[in-house]
């Protein structure tokens, strides 16, 4: 009984944070192109909650999102929400890095944009790791598809350095495969 009460209390706190977050005046109700403009213009210097709201809003707008907006999201893979007191009790990768959730919400249409960025070798270590995890999470029902997408990107790469970068990302993605998927992911690397 106490467990259910605690779980309900934590859920209520988390939900109230999301309700408040949706009211960020800078992004509330804006169309995707305006949200992307806000993130590009003010992104890293704006209120972190508004940045997170903008990132998540683009993910929610998935049927209406275009390539340039996806590229804005990919650029925020290393944006981390500031820690709150509640975070030590309730936390996940997608809570701390809202672009991971937003890109997964968009689905497979974001894969070519993410692979292009990963192949460029210009991402921070955190953004690169989150990009790889985003692919593995997107294809969570068969993570070997994430490894395959990266390998395919390496084969189609425009330069040797891009191919090497994507091969490295594929190897890291395969390391994230666990359990029954481990062998399948390793096989795709061959």
Q: Spell out the domain ranges in the chain.
A: 1-106, 109-190
Dist CA 150 CA 91 (whole Å):
28
Contacts for 11-20: CB closer than 8 Å, 24+ residues apart: 13/86, 13/90, 14/86, 14/90, 17/86, 20/49
Beta carbons of 57 and 24 less than 8 angstroms apart: no
97: tokens are 């890095």
- The per-residue pLDDT for range 93-152, each reduced to its tens digit, is 446 899 999 999 999 999 999 999 999 989 999 999 999 999 999 999 999 999 999 999
What pLDDT sits at residue 86?
Answer: 64
């Amino acid at each position: 009984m106490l467990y259910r009460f605690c779980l309900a209390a934590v859920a209520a706190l988390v939900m109230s944070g999301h309700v408040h977050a949706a009211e960020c005046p800078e992004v509330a109700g804006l169309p995707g192109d305006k949200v992307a403009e806000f993130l590009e213009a003010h992104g890293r210097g704006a209120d972190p909650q508004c940045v997170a709201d903008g990132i998540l809003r683009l993910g929610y707008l998935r049927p209406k999102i275009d390539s340039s907006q996806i590229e804005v999201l990919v650029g925020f893979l290393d944006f981390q929400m500031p820690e709150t007191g509640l975070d030590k009790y309730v936390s996940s990768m997608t809570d701390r890095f809202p672009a991971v959730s937003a890109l997964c919400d968009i689905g497979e249409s974001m894969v070519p944009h993410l692979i292009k960025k990963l192949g460029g070798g210009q991402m921070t270590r955190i953004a690169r790791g989150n990009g790889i995890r985003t692919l593995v999470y997107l294809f969570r029902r068969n993570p070997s598809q994430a490894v395959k997408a990266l390998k395919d990107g390496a084969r189609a790469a425009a330069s040797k350095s891009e191919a090497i970068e994507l091969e490295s990302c594929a190897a890291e993605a395969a390391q994230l495969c666990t359990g029954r998927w481990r062998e399948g992911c390793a096989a795709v690397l061959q």
